A and B are shown apart, each in its own frame.
Chain A
């Protein structure tokens, strides 16, 4: 049918939305490989304070000492060649406050990804990072007047050390894992945000991370501090072109929600299938505070990501809602960690994974409730959907509950989209791709209702694209 051919074509163009790159033209390039000299070069370019230089060099030592976690993780990690990666690339840009001041190729990149349009429509502020540094950063003027700080990591540490230094590297210590150490040594870009007491942001702040160069490692660092009673929603999106060689993305994201504050952190990741995405994300929730991670992982070669919440104060709440879609050749190794450290704390984990073709998804959960605590609650649900028989899914829940008055609830399910379901939907006129897409959307439907509308639309579009592509 000519109609469906036309549609296929339109969608194929769309699938390639992130798959383009511009010629490289960098003023600063730390070269290939990782040594002390690389780190010093980065510090020099960034004009780091001495304590930051020391922090980086110490981190490099820890990184070198730490073994790859291949005793439990995917052995594909061995295929990351740290001595072949470029760790810092920038055009020497200062983040522009107007898109007119952003270099043409970079501006065009973000325009093709729809960022300026989204900013106009519904965002309170945007930071757009191109390889190692932000090219654009802008927040609505009224937020600045209220004392909200929204800057890159280097600017945050240099200009506002009294605010950021006390929490920097505290939620996620350098030695947490090999990749948090790598990030601590090489970090560049990312968002440092401070929301003052009682300030409630009505619209989200957004960062968009774009990798343009081949053989490149992106190591952004994000720290969000929500002061007492404040509220913020932060959204990150990511893409990279499809290069022949592997690309590394290794971020560290720390959230601090002080008394009664609320942080909602939303990720819609759509990395190309050559990206190793190894990210450490953790939030700390003080008394009565709430940290909520909404995490959507589509694309990448291997993603390892287990957003966590340290429930430090009485009555704190933590939540992880995640959707992972593993297509052919991809492994989504995701999950959640909940550390209950005070009475009356509650946590909720809902994980939905979809494996297509040879795609593999893994759920790893950790819930910790020590004996001396009272009235702590956790609810964990992980559901896997398999599309075709070669798909693989594993679940590794680790729940340690002690103490009398704590409750834990865990449910897991695995379901399949059957050939009969596809036949039924096709009998009504849907193509095979449309039928699978509808089944997948149905599977994540309930969870997607928790998303802001703009992102659920975007996520639905990404799922449709993936499903169209998965039909032979």
Chain B
């Protein structure tokens, strides 16, 4: 299907252990979906598999961007196809400045022989840094090296806005953020929301969803989605906790 990110009956394992079990999810452009759930249910695995991480074995199923399968593609090919992953734990790349890194990532999207126009690039970069309240001196710093948790996450959102992806997967972007940083990051994401872009926001806590208000909320447990609803589902989870999901899920299995 065009204009949709589709995950169809995905089964994924690592070292013979099943992690995603017949996982299905469909996000049309223009929507923000939140994926919530207790730790260890496979949320981060899903994010990495979508980005083409080689450690995981896809047993069956498919992932499609705008109707084209991205399964088995190299991470850079998936990136160029329009999928961006904001990492839960962004890697440090010593000696490589933020400005040079993003520039190289943008350059990789240009046709052979075409060069980035430096003046326009920096204008764009500075505007987006200002919006994310990132000090301009940061451009010269080594990517993520010595950054605080909040700085790393802001830098992820900066990269996301600079690379203009069609599908944004954000893995626990709220972890390690204080309330001010959380607002800044949420504002950055909200600025990017439009009809040509879809978001999958993975989070453990409801807090982030007060600022990035989702269209749909999914609850994940044991490798699959066990509940879907509107933004009120997140609030319900906040009150009831995940134990409720576990009990209901266990009952369902026992009942069946």
Contact = CB atoms under 8 A, between A and B. Distances in A.
Interface of A: 1, 3-4, 6-7, 10, 415, 418-421, 423-432, 434, 438-439, 441-446
Contacts of B194: none
B38 interface: no
Interface in B73-126: 74-80, 84-85, 87, 90-96, 100-102, 104-106, 108-109, 111-112
Given A425-B101, A426-B75, A427-B75, 20 more contacts: A7-B112, A423-B53, A424-B90, A425-B91, A427-B79, A427-B87, A428-B163, A429-B76, A429-B105, A430-B76, A431-B74, A431-B76, A431-B108, A432-B76, A434-B104, A438-B104, A439-B93, A441-B95, A442-B94, A444-B95
Contacts of B53: 423
Contacts of B106: 429
B51 interface: yes
Given A421-B91, A441-B95, A442-B93, A427 B112 contact: no
13 contacts: A415-B94, A419-B54, A423-B51, A424-B91, A425-B93, A427-B51, A427-B52, A429-B106, A431-B74, A431-B76, A442-B94, A442-B142, A445-B95
A439 to B, nearest CB: 6
Contacts, number: 86
B229 to A, nearest CB: 30
A415 B91 CA distance: 14
Interface in B146-171: 159, 163
Contacts of A443: 94-95
Given A420-B91, A423-B53, A442-B93, A430 B108 contact: yes
Interface of B: 51-54, 74-80, 84-85, 87, 90-96, 100-102, 104-106, 108-109, 111-112, 142, 159, 163
B142 A426 contact: no
A426 B76 contact: yes
Contact of B163 (A418, A429, A446): A429
Contacts of A425: 91, 93, 101
A6 B113 CA distance: 10
A434 B108 CA distance: 9
The 10 A-B pairs of least Cβ separation, nearest first, read A442-B95, A426-B75, A442-B96, A445-B95, A428-B105, A424-B91, A429-B108, A429-B79, A6-B112, A426-B76
Contact of B96 (A419, A420, A427, A441): A441
Main secondary structure on A side of the interface with B: helix
A441 B92 CA distance: 14
Contacts of A430: 76, 104-105, 108
A431 B109 CA distance: 11
A420 B89 CA distance: 10
A439 B145 CA distance: 13
Contact of A428 (B74, B79, B94, B142): B79
B25 to A, nearest CB: 20
A420 B78 CA distance: 16
A426 B74 contact: yes
Contacts of A429: 76, 79-80, 105-106, 108-109, 163
A426 B78 CA distance: 9
Contacts of A438: 93, 96, 100-101, 104
Given A3-B112, A424-B87, A430-B105, A439 B96 contact: yes
